[in-house]
């Protein structure tokens, strides 16, 4: 047997395990039920940005690997009012994104959704979750943080809220990195325009074209942590949004069957576990945050 005595990697894996444990514990305390993830389905998140489709021949039909569980989360809420899943996602991003150091073709997001919740309520859950995870790591992984040379602080709640329009006015179209580098604590980016997000994020009835959604941005240049928002859940509004995005409704017929029967109103988000691990451990590259990491474009990964 060959023992791999990589203290840094071992510390990261300990911390990552604690992050998942503490996150699950916090959500259970908040009344959430953990469900198991979906890997294969006729539908997945269309994603606004370009990714190559992971398609599998499923008894002669094209099924897709999950890019996010958003559509399944909405359907699961018909049965249980608060759910979460550690959900593996496959997003084969263009190779050009590799230098950003925060993309993996295979990653896990902690995806959660709450029936009848508002964006404010779901942001409060996000803040509570983040603080609970940082506190737990500080208490149980002090030695590992020392090995990594990482100094972590518990941020104050509530986090700052920055409207998307302000961020782009200040930093331009590629605001992410500059905004993140300018922050000393996590901050919310809110109110994305309809044109830059997916059809399922709810349009504000009082501000057409503006969505009731949000991202969480890490400080110190670590970039985007999570995306989420309130959801569209009625058939006419979903059909209109698909049309505006130029997506043929037939592509989502398996999902639309459930929409026709009725979906609950909801809000939720998904937070990337490797990105959270990268931030908490202070890692230069996301590939250091998981075993068997697959960086966009690199085809020799295990």
Does residue 186 contact residue 276 with C-beta atoms inside 8 Å?
Answer: no
The values of phi and psi at residue 51, to 5°, are: -140, 150
Question: By C-beta, is 64 or 109 nearer to ligand ASN?
Answer: 109
Give the H/E segment covering residue 137.
Answer: helix 119-140
- Closest approach, Cβ 151 to ligand ASN, in A, equals 30
- Closest approach, Cβ 144 to ligand ASN, in A, equals 28
Q: Under the rule (CB under 6 A), what is the footprint of ligand ASN?
A: 45, 68, 70, 109, 111, 227-228, 268-270
Which residue has its beta carbon closest to ligand ASN?
Answer: 270
DSSP designation for 208: T
- If one counts every other C-beta atom within 10 angstroms of the C-beta of residue 180, the result is 22
Question: By C-beta, is 175 or 192 nearer to ligand ASN?
Answer: 192
Question: By C-beta, is 268 or 296 nearer to ligand ASN?
Answer: 268
- Closest approach, Cβ 120 to ligand ASN, in A, equals 16
- Closest approach, Cβ 69 to ligand ASN, in A, equals 7
DSSP designation for 252: G
- Closest approach, Cβ 281 to ligand ASN, in A, equals 22
Cis, bond preceding 158 (omega within 30 deg of 0): yes
Question: By C-beta, is 70 or 167 nearer to ligand ASN?
Answer: 70
CA distance 8 to 150: 11
Q: Three-state SS for 215?
A: strand
Question: By C-beta, is 111 or 144 nearer to ligand ASN?
Answer: 111
């Amino acid at each position: 047997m060959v023992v791999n005595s990589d203290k840094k990697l071992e510390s990261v894996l300990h911390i990552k395990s604690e992050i998942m444990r503490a996150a699950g514990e916090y959500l259970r305390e908040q009344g959430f039920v953990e469900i198991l993830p979906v890997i294969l389905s006729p539908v997945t998140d269309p994603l606004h940005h370009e990714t190559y489709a992971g398609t599998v021949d499923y008894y002669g039909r094209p099924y897709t690997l999950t890019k996010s569980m958003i559509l399944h989360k909405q359907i699961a809420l018909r049965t249980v009012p608060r759910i979460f899943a550690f959900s593996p996602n496959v997003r084969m991003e263009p190779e050009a994104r590799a230098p950003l150091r925060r993309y993996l073709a295979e990653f896990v997001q902690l995806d959660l959704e709450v029936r009848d919740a508002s964006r404010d309520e779901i942001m409060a859950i996000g803040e509570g979750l983040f603080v609970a995870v940082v506190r737990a790591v500080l208490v149980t992984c002090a030695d590992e943080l020392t090995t990594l040379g990482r100094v972590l602080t518990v941020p104050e709640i509530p986090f700052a809220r920055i409207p998307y329009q302000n961020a782009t006015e200040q930093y331009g179209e590629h605001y992410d990195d500059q905004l993140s580098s300018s922050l000393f604590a996590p901050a919310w980016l809110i109110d994305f325009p309809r044109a830059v997000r997916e059809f399922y994020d709810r349009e504000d009835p009082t501000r057409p074209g503006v969505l009731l959604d949000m991202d969480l941005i890490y400080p110190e240049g670590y970039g985007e942590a999570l995306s989420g928002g309130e959801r569209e859940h009625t058939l006419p509004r979903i059909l209109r949004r698909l049309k505006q995005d130029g997506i043929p409704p037939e592509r989502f017929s398996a999902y639309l069957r459930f929409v026709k029967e009725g979906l609950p109103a909801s809000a939720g988000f998904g937070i990337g576990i490797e990105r959270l691990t990268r931030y908490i451990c202070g890692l230069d590259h996301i590939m250091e945050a998981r075993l068997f990491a697959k960086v966009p474009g690199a085809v020799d990964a295990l």
